[in-house]
Chains A and B, each alone.
Chain A
Amino acid sequence: MSRFARPHWVEKMSSGMAKPLIGEISAALDTLAATGVAGAIDLSGLPLTATDRAELEVALGSGEVEAKVTAAGTSEIRETGFAGVWWVRHFDAGGRVLAEILEIAFVPQLLGAQGDDIDAAARRLRTELARTPERETGRETVHAD
């Protein structure tokens, strides 16, 4: 789904935009393989027709991973048929596509746990562990009675 809605006869037209996009993806994938540096292409800013999009989807194909992330709305992450090329869609509560990005990376940014979240989780887990003996002692006391 594109922010650039058009008459249906335009949507049926191919602008030929898929081909240069695939070239850009190819260059980014070469960079990733050679240097490990990730890249991204914002599709939501491009006036792709439905046909352009279909051409791109056919060319990229489907890979082995599909994931759904629930953080401030839903996000859908699909690996394409080319390892390292990920199709990421961010939706709002009404299902509207807010942003659509092709990420060229080992793992999409959104999929990995974030450092600060991990820190917070570690603190929370330590707190839980510190509380556990008290609860167990309480239960043992009940059993002893």
Chain B
Amino acid sequence: MQIDETTPNAARSAASGDDRTLGALLAARGVSRRAFLKYSSYLASLLALPASMAPAMAASLAKAQRQSVIWLSFQECTGCTESLTRSLSPTLDDLIFDFISLDYHHTLQAASGHAAEEARMQAMEAHKGKYIVAVDGSVPVKDGGIYSTIAGMSNLDILEETTKDAFAVVAIGSCAAFGGLPLADPNPTGAVPVTELVTDKPVINIPGCPPIPEAMAAVLAHVLTFGILPELDSLGRPKSFYGESVHDRCYRRPFYDRGEFAESFDDEGAKKGWCLYKLGCKGPATSNACATVKWNGGTSFPIEAGHPCLGCSEPGFWDMGGFYRALSVPTGDVARIAAVAAGAGVVAGAAAGALHRATKSAARGKHHTVTVEELEEK
């Protein structure tokens, strides 16, 4: 095999017989085992694993080989890539880029045209059965999938071809995980999420618009460290990041508990940083870690900037009846249950959220808005 600047990392390693471990590769670049240990402590914390596991994780990471990742971009806006590449701290978090071999990525790779597609094929061959396919963007299937093509192939065909010999598939961002904006009504391209198409491989959903970069990095590191996928919730999301609602971890939660709400974006409540529930905050119905991990190196997240949560990591968030309408609950029997739960103000939001999630599909067409007062009166 002739190796040149267009040869992907994985194929280059395979061709040159470079089977060094991550520990050896990084030691050659001056990265010490202490750095591994520190990174592992950080990962354990992010993944909600016992802190005492960090030394074993560090040892495992040091012995692992770089994970080949093939990144496919379909109907998307590149925000997910922006999130992953721009928000990590320049010291610790970016170690993930040393742990993976990003063998194909439209936006980031230097190669283009035939050379780019050849890179994908080489990586698939070199790491058959072991590579991870990361997908951002939904897949259009209407009219034979003609609405998005790359190198003359439909997204549908590329996905099928690339995932055939993959170890696992990671659907990054809400478009890949749940269809996102392209799937929003009237869904002109027949967009579908990855999970509807890939049924013979494990699929991990990391939704969000964009997703939290630490979630993406931690999932890849988890696979490298343990050789298995992290524990997932019923929507295929890693529980360590999507196990709690934004509302439950929100720093404005105490205002909700005290019944102190902003009524408009410029009233006294808004200025005092009160709860944004009445302004349409979807935090109670949204599972994500953005209230704690945040974006841009832990700088902030939408609620901290004074804007309600849009619920971007939940299925169908574009069609939930309006970003600025107070969280609604479905009519019917479930409303009675909500009323019971609402007896305790602290759990009202969580209860509404749980019900909202459980019945979102059926209820979408018959929403009615419920105010906090109405919830608490019932």
A-to-B contact residues, CB < 8 Å:
3-7, 9-10, 38-42, 44-45, 47, 69, 71-73, 75, 88, 90, 92-94, 96, 98-99, 101, 103, 109-110, 114-117, 120
Considering only CB atoms, which chain A residue lies closest to B291 in the complex? A4
List, sorted by A's number, 17 A–B pairs whose CB atoms are closer than 8 Å.
Answer: A3-B292, A3-B293, A3-B294, A4-B251, A10-B254, A38-B52, A71-B32, A72-B35, A73-B38, A92-B89, A93-B89, A96-B297, A109-B37, A110-B34, A115-B33, A116-B27, A116-B62
Q: Is B255 part of the contact surface with A, judged by Cβ < 8 Å?
A: yes
A93 touches B90 (CB 8 A): yes
Residue B74 is within 8 A (CB to CB) of chain A in the complex = no
Q: Which residues of A contact B52 (CB under 8 A)?
A: 38-40
A residues near B298, Cβ cutoff 8 Å: 3, 92, 96
Residues of B within 8 A of A71 (CB): 32, 34-35, 38
Given contacts A40-B51, A93-B89, A117-B32, contact A7 B41 (CB under 8 A): no
- Judging by beta carbons under 8 Å apart, are A92 and B297 in contact? yes
What's the minimum C-beta distance from B168 to chain A, rounded to whole angstroms? 26
Q: How many residues of B contact A (CB 8 A)?
A: 40
Supposing A3-B293, A7-B251, A120-B27 touch, asked if A101 and B51 sit within 8 A by C-beta, the answer is yes
Compute how far the CA of A39 lies from the CA of B55 in the bound complex, rounded to whole angstroms: 11
**Interface residue? B23 (CB, 8 A):** yes
Residues of B with C-beta under 8 A to A39: 52
Which residues of chain B have C-beta atoms less than 8 A from A4's C-beta? 249, 251, 292
Known: A73-B38, A116-B33. 19 other contacts (CB 8 A): A3-B292, A5-B251, A10-B254, A40-B54, A71-B34, A75-B38, A90-B41, A90-B92, A92-B90, A92-B93, A92-B297, A94-B297, A98-B89, A99-B42, A101-B41, A109-B54, A114-B32, A115-B33, A116-B62
List, in ascending order, chain B residues with CB within 8 A of A116's CB.
Answer: 23, 27, 33, 62
Q: B126 within 8 Å of A by Cβ?
A: no
Decide if B234 is an interface residue (CB 8 Å cutoff).
Answer: no
Interface positions, chain B 111-147, Cβ under 8 Å from A, are: none
Contact A7 B273 (CB under 8 A): yes
**B264 beta carbon closer than 8 Å to chain A:** no
Say yes or no: B42 contacts A90, CB within 8 Å. yes
3 cross-chain pairs, A with B, having the tightest CB-CB distances, nearest first: A114-B33, A40-B51, A73-B91
> How far is A44 from B95 in the complex, measured between Cα atoms in Å?
20
CB distance from A123 to the nearest CB of B (A): 10
B253 to chain A: closest residue by CB: A6
Q: In chain B, what residue has the closest Cβ to A94?
A: B297
Assuming the contacts A6-B254, A116-B62, asked whether A92 and B55 have C-beta atoms less than 8 A apart, the reply is: no
Majority SS at the chain A contact face: mixed
B50 at the interface (CB under 8 A from A): yes
**A40 to B44 alpha-carbon distance, docked (Å):** 11
Contact of B42 among A10, A41, A98, A115 (CB under 8 A): A98
B3 smallest CB distance to A (angstroms): 28
CA distance A10 to B260 in the complex (A): 14
A91 to B252, CA, bound (A): 25
Interface readout for B54-74 with A: 1 if CB under 8 Å, 0 if not? 110000001000000000000
Q: Is A41 touching B34 in the complex (CB atoms < 8 A)?
A: no
Chain A residues within an 8 Å CB radius of B31: 72
B37 proximity list for chain A (CB < 8 A)? 109-110, 114
A40: chain B residues within 8 A (beta carbon): 50-52, 54
Per-residue CB contact flags for chain B residues 288-301 toward chain A (1 = under 8 Å, else 0) read 00001110011000
Q: Which residues of A contact B32 (CB under 8 A)?
A: 71, 114, 117
Q: Least Cβ distance of A8 to chain B in Å?
A: 10
The answer for the CA separation of A3 and B252 in the assembled complex, in Å, is 14
Cα distance A93–B95 in the bound complex, in angstroms: 13
A72 touches B51 (CB 8 A): no
Nearest chain B CB to A99 CB, angstrom units: 4
| A42 in contact with B45 (CB, 8 Å) | yes
In the bound assembly, the distance between CA atoms of A114 and B61 in angstroms comes to 14
Q: Which residues of B (7-31) have their CB < 8 Å from a CB of A?
A: 23, 27, 31
